[in-house]
Amino acid sequence: MSNTSDACGSPPAGAPTQAPRRWSRDEVARRVARDITEGMVVNLGIGLPTLVANHLAPDREVMMHSENGVIGFGPAPAPGSEDYDLINAGKQPVTLRPGGVFFHHADSFGMMRGGHIDICVLGAFQVAANGDLANWHTGAPDAIPAVGGAMDLAVGARATWVMMEHTTKAGEPRIVERCTYPLTGLACVSRIYTDLAVIDITPDGLRVVERCQGLSMQALQAVTTAALRFG
């Protein structure tokens, strides 16, 4: 992965053009894991964020939390060793690290609402330029709403990060000036990780921290409705 220097932007004049390779889901998860600080309590939302647990080194002191009532879980179990009595909020089997425990669902939500989660990493349908989050319903009449604990996490965690694909399957931007889907939380997101870039939400707007190798500023802006700042 590259930063926003010239080396990772447009190719030199006269060089053959090539479509940039998007980061894989595991590469994005690894990038998120890199930014998690030692000693933090981190909630991983359903979907893509669950991959982050697979990319935290075993010797790192990070407590992973899931709202169904587990803290101190580790990477996904090896195929064939799954125990479906030990699951996360997405009903995926997990492993427990030394000291990890399962506990009451109400106590888990007490942690979330009480400000005891340092970072939550959530998936999203849309994120607005001001940090508004929409991740529980698209508003479509046949869509199944899925609130889960996202509303509690969005306002209860000390920081909310989003991990998602930069565009929909139809190519529509997910990072927008204003959300058009029902909101999960207001001005709650501080950082976005996508398969194209890492973007901070600041008082001065969206600032690109990092982008895919070979992805120009113009190409990234073309798939982002909200205005971006570079450098």
Residues identified as active-site: 67
Report the alpha-carbon distance of residue 98 to residue 184 in Å, rounded: 34
Question: Residue 124: which H helix or E strand, with range?
Answer: none
* Contact indicator for 164, 176 with CB cutoff of 8 Å: no
**Alpha helices (H) in 14-63, listed in sequence order:** 25-35
Report the alpha-carbon distance of residue 112 to residue 66 in Å, rounded: 10
3-class secondary structure, 17: coil
Comparing CA positions, the residue from 226, 208, 225, 206 lying closest to residue 216 is 208
Contacts of 33 (CB under 8 A, 6+ apart): 52, 55, 56
DSSP letter at 130 equals: T
Comparing CA positions, the residue from 157, 135, 160 lying closest to residue 146 is 135
